[in-house]
Amino acid sequence: MNKKISKTDAEKIINEFFKNIQNKTPKEIKKVKKLAMSKNIALKEKRKLFCKKCLTPYKNPKIRIKNKLKSITCNNCNYISRWKMKN
C-alpha cells in the first residue's frame, strides 16, 4: 500500500474491502486494520465481521444471545467474542 494516501482514500479502500470480506485472508484483514489504525478511522460495525484473535472472516459462526450479550464463536480458533446488545 502507498504510504502517501489521504484519509478519504483510505476510507474508500476500507469500505470496498469489507464489501467482499468472505474471500479475504487474515493477512489482508491485518493490512486493512493497520491502515485504519494509522489513519485513525473507526471500523465500527465492520469489526464484528471477523474474529478478533485469528482475523479470519466469520463463515456461519455460532451465535448465542443471553442476558443482553451476543456471543459469537469462531469456527477457526473457537474464540468467543462477546458484544453488548442495544436496547
pLDDT the model gives residue 87: 74
The tens place of each residue's pLDDT in the chain, 87 residues long, gives: 556 899 999 999 999 999 999 999 999 999 999 999 999 999 999 999 999 999 999 999 999 999 999 999 999 999 999 999 987
pLDDT the model gives residue 1: 55
CA distances from 69 to 35, 43, 66, 75 (A): 30, 20, 5, 19
CB 56 within 8 A of CB 76: yes
pTM, two decimals, is: 0.86
Contacts of 18 (CB under 8 A, 6+ apart): 32, 46, 49
pLDDT the model gives residue 17: 96
Domain range summary for the chain, segments of one domain joined by +: 7-84
pLDDT the model gives residue 4: 85
pLDDT the model gives residue 3: 67
